[in-house]
Structure 1
């Protein structure tokens, strides 16, 4: 079991900090994909620990939060993450989310900008999903357990040994189903935008994220918009982690420098 770094303990249960942060630098909040967990982004946190204070979000209903109620609404998830983040002031804030995590991160950014402008992020980095305004639903949350397990196998993001473990899958499927329901019921982002820069990442061979859908993230920012493509499919983060970590470190540096040079009003 990967233990959180001591001083980073979070009383709300939503945030995990696994590595000692640098003396300076931004806070990077990492939002996992559907069915994902904080520990799934442990090595990415480790790779970025010299560039940022990295906080991995842990959704309820999995791992050490297994006994908690799963949340199947993006707005509720975003509200609770905002509450968890508010006490952690002091560093510039950047939000990074993959797939489901991208829309949770985006909704957290909208809430921080409108309700807590003193904690508004200096950048949002989304990954593995078309723009928030595009409604996506393949009805995955309605599938029978076996079909739902098969669907995540098709995404190539789940180890085969996990899929073969029926007891483990029975523990995992409720949170996965809730995550898919949250993603499939998500609407209302059309016409919204953040005022900070927004970067969009994608696997070049990810058939779930058409290029035109990714580019439409530009509609969701009034500031700079940047796109990065990496070799791989939907879970390119795993196969290309060193390259992704380098890109994130570079983008964190750019976002922090830009924020320092941008006058506030």
Structure 2
């Protein structure tokens, strides 16, 4: 189950729910409240990291996001947006769909960065490489602090969670549903070695709302230099005037099932639920 750690508190105010990248915990977003005054910032606490280190990390994004209860406790009566980077973007996307399946208010925005569109397969599989090769693949992406990378014992402790997160992202299979109505803003690093711009344009297929793609200088971890840009998009969504809250549902009528089938047919790499 996902837990949500409050990094700042704004009672009854708008919230930004952030999902970390592979191997990371809530501390990855500890400085983000500085960019978001008036917005409560919460970060996903996933099994296998920081104080949940002894828990088994999940290798299945669908299973990780299936329980709506953590969202129910947070979002009723509040405006919120979801943000995720890399592995976290797929988790945020599935949380958006979990909210819809269970009749919860839809987020004002889904903000994703450094991640292929959900219906696309991973460009490469690295999660099951031997340790040395897997660590070299992490080096190619950057993002691992030099002090951590130089500490062999620490790296050995972190590898199981990193492998689990990479397995979850790289083996993720999109399950066909109608696109969400939540607007999507996607952020891409110009020099990201693993996620080229064309892999991010596909996010447009997954929303009936507005879609915006912003390409920024940097590699896979460009968010370290551009969190202000992401915060600006979050503020714009959370403080935009809106007459009423949206509640989406995935109806079970034959018409809606047919609509879902038509949507799924646009995604040749998707896997349908049985």
Fold match, TM over 0.5? yes
* Partner residue in 2 for 1:168: 154
* Aligned twin of 2:267: none
1:95 to 71, 77, 82: 82
Q: Is the 8 A contact 1:60 1:70 kept in 2?
A: yes
CA distance in 1, matches of 2:58, 2:209: 31
Q: Do residues 45 (structure 1) and 33 (structure 2) align? A: yes
Question: In 2, are the aligned partners of 1:232 and 1:240 still within 8 Å (CA)?
Answer: no
Cα distance, 1:193 vs structure 2: 1.5
User: How far apart in 1 are the matches of 2:161 and 2:189?
Assistant: 25
1:195 has 2:181 as partner: yes
Q: For 1:162-196, what per-residue CA distance to the aligned partner results, in whole angstroms no more than 9, with x for missing partners?
A: 01111211111100000011011111245641111
Range moving further from structure 2, 56-65 or 145-154? 145-154
User: 1:17 maps to which residue?
Assistant: 6
Among 17, 41, 61, which residue is 1:74 paired with?
61
Q: CA–CA distance in 1 between the matches of 2:153 and 2:247?
A: 53
Answer whether contact 1:74 1:183 (CA < 8 A) is retained.
Answer: yes
* Partner SS for 1:142: coil
How many Å apart are 1:244 and its aligned residue?
3.2
C-alpha distance in 1 between matches for 2:3 and 2:238: 22
Q: What is residue 149 of structure 1 aligned with on the other side? A: 135
Q: Partners in 2 of 1:29 and 1:150 — Cα distance?
A: 31
Q: Residue 173 of structure 1: SS of its match in structure 2?
A: helix
Q: Secondary structure at the match of 1:122?
A: coil
The one of 84, 93, 98 equivalent to 1:106 is 93
Question: What is the alpha-carbon distance in structure 2 between the residues aligned to residue 91 and residue 143 of structure 1?
Answer: 43
**Structure 1 residues 125 and 261: CA distance shift in structure 2, 3 A:** same
Is the helix fraction higher in 1 or 2?
A: 1
2:109 aligned residue: 123
What SS class does the counterpart of residue 21 from structure 2 fall into?
A: coil
Q: For 1:220-235, what aligned pairs fall within 5 Å after superposition?
A: 220-235=206-221
Is the Cα–Cα contact under 8 Å of residues 193 and 220 in structure 1 kept in the other structure?
yes
Secondary structure of the corresponding residue to residue 91 of structure 1: coil
Q: In structure 2, the residue corresponding to 1:87 is in which secondary structure?
A: helix
Q: Which blocks of at least 5 consecutive residues in structure 1 are unaligned? A: 1-11
Matched residues in 2 for 1:262 and 1:166: separation? 50
Would you say the 8 A contact 2:81–2:234 is kept in 1? no
Shift of 1:250: 2.9
| Alpha-carbon offset, residue 262 of structure 1 | 7.4
The equivalent residue for 1:5 is: none
For normalisation by structure 2, the TM-score amounts to: 0.83
Query: Cα–Cα, structure 1 residues 59 and 150, in superposed 2: closer, same or farther, change >3 Å?
Result: same
SS of 2:59's partner is: coil
Cα RMSD (Å): 2.1
**Using the alignment, how far apart are the partners of 1:73 and 1:209 within structure 2?**
21
Aligned to 1:8: none
- For normalisation by structure 1, the TM-score amounts to 0.85
Distance in 2 (CA, whole Å) between partners of 1:141 and 1:96 is: 24
Aligned pairs (5 A) from 1:27-66? 27-48=15-36, 50-66=37-53
Structure 2 unmatched ranges of 5 or more: 249-274
How many aligned positions are there? 247
